[in-house]
A = this chain, B = another copy of it.
């Protein structure tokens, strides 16, 4: 080390690294948030979410949703399940029909998190 200290190259003085100005997202936080984004990251589910939230009262019947897409009924059912499982929509059965309701706090929280990184 005493020998090589004579040949200190500029590479070590002009380090490529810059310091952090704030704390980045932790690994556990990232693994908690990513599934929410993944649930939204599909054109059909994005439209489903918007369609539900755009209905009066923030809720919509599955029959309404099925008609809005050129997709089979099982496919829509699958997408609704994905959104429900991550907590973006609530599910309520009323008689023969099933209503899905947008959880606006969840969406707002997610939007705030994404915006924070910017």
Q: B-contacting residues of A (Cβ < 8 Å)?
A: 16-25, 27, 30-31, 33-35, 37-38, 40-44, 46-47, 49-51, 53-57, 59-61, 63-64, 96-97, 102, 104-108, 110-112, 114-115, 117-118
Contact = CB atoms under 8 A, between A and B. Distances in A.
Nearest to A118: B107
A45 to B, nearest CB: 8
Contact of A16 (B16, B19, B64, B104): B64
B16 A61 contact: yes
Contact of A59 (B18, B56, B112): B18
A7 B47 CA distance: 37
A108 B115 contact: yes
Contact of A55 (B19, B33, B56): B19
8 contacts: A18-B55, A18-B56, A30-B43, A34-B41, A37-B41, A37-B46, A108-B118, A111-B111
